Amino acid sequence: MANFMDIHHGMKGITQEQLKEAHQADLAIESQEGVHFARAWADPDSGDVFCLSEGPSAEAVQRVHERTGHPADEIHPVPLTV
């Protein structure tokens, strides 16, 4: 298992409710890909959304996001953390 930080661009104006709904959609199917989305943070002004997850691969993380309708624009493996 590895840790990932993924980024979605273009979500300007996203609301707390929309962020929660998107996260819940991911949580509902994530186990099918062996992924867990731990947290997400959104900047409604820039439209950037950051998701922290763990899973077997960046591809598995992306498959969850694609299946729930919001593919990530960037997925960074983040093996280092403090």
Is residue 81 close enough to count as binding its own copies by CB under 8 A?
A: yes
Q: How far is the CB of 80 from its own copies (least distance, A)?
A: 4
Q: Sketch the per residue contact string, 23 through 62, with its own copies: x for CB under 8 A, - otherwise.
A: x---------------xxxxxxxx-x-x-x----------
Taking a C-beta distance cutoff of 8 angstroms, is the pair 50, 23 a contact?
Answer: no
Is residue 69 close enough to count as binding its own copies by CB under 8 A?
A: no
